[in-house]
Structure 1
Amino acid sequence: MKTSNRLPPALPPAPSPSSKNQRPTILRRLLSHHELATLLLLLHAPIDASAKPEIPLLQEAGLVEAADGEAGQARIRLTSEGNAVLRGLGALPATPSGSKPGNENPG
């Protein structure tokens, strides 16, 4: 019996996130427990930009953003995507339809 070294046919490409029947994926990787803890801290109030080493990774993922604080200091707060992650984990109540998600403590 002769075995074939041929590979199986390639899988079709994944549907694009812009298709109407699919929700876009927020995260492209799993968050560490330190990153989750930082998001939970930000749930209550913005923090200094230098307060946590996880901030740059969370900014790259689009979960937090810089905001102007008192005396011109950079402060970090949750984005709507960051709020969505916490909502998915059950840390935030689901938003009623028609209301816009956002950080509960803007300043």
Structure 2
Amino acid sequence: MLRRLLSHHELATLLLLLHAPVDAHAKPEIPMLQEAGLVESIASADAGAPRIRLTDEGNAVLRGLGLGV
């Protein structure tokens, strides 16, 4: 359960992640979203920077907004 409101930048980042993982350093909001348990790091197949994707909790936040899958 979230203990604080998400910023509009954090929500926008969750929406980006809804469609595809992104580079771990692509967005400055990633560390706060990881701390909240809404995103997780996955190993990159090309041994580049780790990729970030939504967790089940992150998907639940978007579903609560009528946007998730």
TM range, smaller chain: over 0.9
Shift of 1:92: 2.1
Question: Quick check: 1:87 aligned with 2:28?
Answer: no
- Which 5+ residue runs of structure 1 have no aligned equivalent? 1-25, 94-107
TM-score by length of 1: 0.61
**Highest relative contact order (Cα 8 Å, sep 6+), 1 or 2?**
2
* Alignment RMSD: 0.9
Q: Distance in 2 between matches of 1:27 and 1:67?
A: 22
TM-score by length of 2: 0.94
Matching of residues 1-107 of structure 1 within 5 Å: 26-72=1-47, 73-93=49-69
* Between structures 1 and 2, the one with greater helix share: 2
Amino acid at match of 2:56: S
Shift of 1:35: 0.1
Amino acid at match of 1:63: L
Aligned to 1:102: none
Moved over 3 A (4+): none
- Which 5+ residue runs of structure 2 have no aligned equivalent? none
Aligned length: 68
